[in-house]
Structure 1
């Protein structure tokens, strides 16, 4: 019993020493808290796929009543802002090329006549494809408005067929609801990796690495003592992002907070294992930072944060199984948005625990050989 007490006291002392090294400098304290706050706000307000503003130009060759009614529907949304009314098609290229409008809507001269005769009346929609996601959203929005307009025209002939849409887990289909919960895992990963990667490299660069050689600490105790501060910092940053999402952006959590944090502990432990492995093979802090920044971008791209994993090539889909961020994001989204229980997300813990079981012993093995 006394052996276990002494064992954990040694780990606790190393944990305290690592935390003091992180927070004793006011600049470090600012770096630990500031990025999570700033990035949460930037992603919450800046990284959105919602269509809130779409400048457009109109080429109305019809000048009829139906054309005016359709344009009243479009202008009434508050999203589409008419920037120019064109006299001929030669003016379209200049506006699109200069980026002054996102789209140009052309109404043909026989628009009203075709509608009066019960014929199809085509509209031409010219989009600026340089911003493909926004252009696609604008085209879909225009399509929905035209659909509403069509139902209004056909209502006199009988009750039209209508579609009532309901979205589960994100009632208003706001991109913020899809993106921000994933930030709970993603925003903390960079600094978690970096802190873990710098832990041993900092010891070498500051000349205190040799002191570990003469301490009674075992490689496993060193591993635990250096992993716990990084895990703690990662959870603190995830908490900051979680509180901002919950109370500032008011995205309600549907599932259990305790299950969410259980998943974050598993995810952060796997990320710290990767960081400690990088730290053990780095000779100095510059190498550790370089390895971290080389690794973070592939981890982000292969996480499903911005693009669905099922849309990736099969080889890359297989590679995502080595990425703890993939499973961290999926678990957070399912618990936060779907309200999933433990039985529904238990399978997501397995790869994260397997990654921890590989990277943490690998770090201990590297420590043992470095300390030998």
Structure 2
């Protein structure tokens, strides 16, 4: 225990002795949380819509004014011809263009009118959301001009479980806890062994009475403590400042966070043990962190990935922790489901730390 305490204190000093290092460990992740929260919005706002009105009737004008009055629409661009429409879409002046035929008012008077909608497929996700907005506006306009036209299918009641108002913050903030925890944890552990080699103190570790597991434990404790502190801050900011509900168990959150950080520490130590310099370690961590983030399910659902890529993502600790965090925040996930995702994290941590210990021992011989 004396040797373990000594190496742990030594690693804490290596991480925290520089005031700039202390700032880098805590301030940038918090700033990233605020910036990414608003930058990675899933809402589609301030978009431009083009209208090619061949009708000029009352209904067409009312429809155009309803679109212009939408809080999500920035500008309504009048189009004079098919060529102007194609030019507006090609140059991304508008994300959608509506075509109203000359008999638009007549069709509406007979009981229903159709409007053509052309979307910019280069922005597929945003275009689909815009199509939903415009469809809702069209249904409201039709119900206003022709009271006999229902504004929604009869008998349909839509409820969104776990996120009733579809607030993107309720999805983004829990996911950022996972992503920022991964980047910080990998960055701290990825430099530890490589720093020893670059500073010339690796040989001192080789001749010290410390055993391999004691060295690795000492190098694992500081990044886990930093990650737990940042995780606590992220949790408090998400709930108290942004109003994201936390419906699960605090104890299970910190237990899963600890195991998640342990798995990340194993990956970082393996990369660091395989590197000769801190520059190599930095490049290695960058190489690892990109697939960790992309395969976590943050950018796109894991279920949408090919089957072989879903199998690879099983080795990504961020994927399993993402399920846990979103479940604890939004839907009070049962203990059995949380444990089913903690077990893979334990396996990943065991494998990565064992590989790091094997490589570290091989480098010491």
**What TM-score do the two structures reach when normalised by structure 2?**
0.93
Q: CA RMSD in A?
A: 2.0
3-state secondary structure, aligned to 1:105: strand
Q: What's the offset of the Cα at 1:150?
A: 4.1
- Which of the residues 44, 47, 51 maps onto 2:44? 51
- Which of the residues 165, 174, 182 maps onto 2:175? 182
Aligned ranges 1:342-357 → 2 under 5 Å: 342-357=335-350
3-state secondary structure, aligned to 2:40: coil
- Which of the residues 135, 158, 162 maps onto 1:143? 135
Q: What's the offset of the Cα at 1:70?
A: 2.5
Structure 2 distance, partners of 1:249, 1:95, is 38
Q: What's the offset of the Cα at 1:108?
A: 1.1
Structure 2 distance, partners of 1:323, 1:110, is 57
Please list the CA deviations of residues 128-179 of structure 1 after superposition, one character each: whole Å capped at 9, or x if unmatched. Answer: 2222221111011112222334445664379971522111111111222212
Q: Which residue of 1 aligns with 2:271?
A: 278
- 2:157 aligned with 1:164: yes
Please list the CA deviations of residues 101-137 of structure 1 after superposition, one character each: whole Å capped at 9, or x if unmatched. Answer: 222222111011012122x422122222222221111
Structure 1 distance, partners of 2:88, 2:149, is 40
3-state secondary structure, aligned to 1:229: helix
Q: What's the offset of the Cα at 1:317?
A: 0.6
Q: Which runs of 5+ in 2 are unaligned?
A: none
Does the 8 Å contact 1:36/1:240 carry over to 2? Answer: no
Q: Which residue of 2 aligns with 1:3?
A: none
Q: Which residue of 2 aligns with 1:267?
A: 260
Q: What's the offset of the Cα at 1:219?
A: 0.8
- 2:111 aligned with 1:131: no
Aligned ranges 1:190-269 → 2 under 5 Å: 190-269=183-262
Q: Which residue of 2 aligns with 1:61?
A: 54
Moved over 6 A (4+): 157-160
Aligned ranges 1:290-305 → 2 under 5 Å: 290-305=283-298
- 2:33 aligned with 1:40: yes
Does the 8 Å contact 2:190/2:271 carry over to 1? Answer: yes
Q: Which runs of 5+ in 1 are unaligned?
A: 1-6
Please list the CA deviations of residues 207-266 of structure 1 after superposition, one character each: whole Å capped at 9, or x if unmatched. Answer: 111111232211111111111111111222222322332233221212122211111111
Structure 2 distance, partners of 1:294, 1:318, is 19
Aligned residue pairs total: 364
Does the 8 Å contact 1:260/1:336 carry over to 2? Answer: no
Does the 8 Å contact 2:244/2:329 carry over to 1? Answer: no
Q: What's the offset of the Cα at 1:202?
A: 0.5
Structure 1 distance, partners of 2:233, 2:336, is 27
3-state secondary structure, aligned to 1:156: coil
Does the 8 Å contact 1:40/1:244 carry over to 2? Answer: no
Deviates more, 1:291-300 or 1:68-77: 68-77
Q: Which residue of 1 aligns with 2:361?
A: 368
Q: What's the offset of the Cα at 1:369?
A: 2.5
Structure 2 distance, partners of 1:182, 1:258, is 19
Structure 2 distance, partners of 1:52, 1:158, is 27
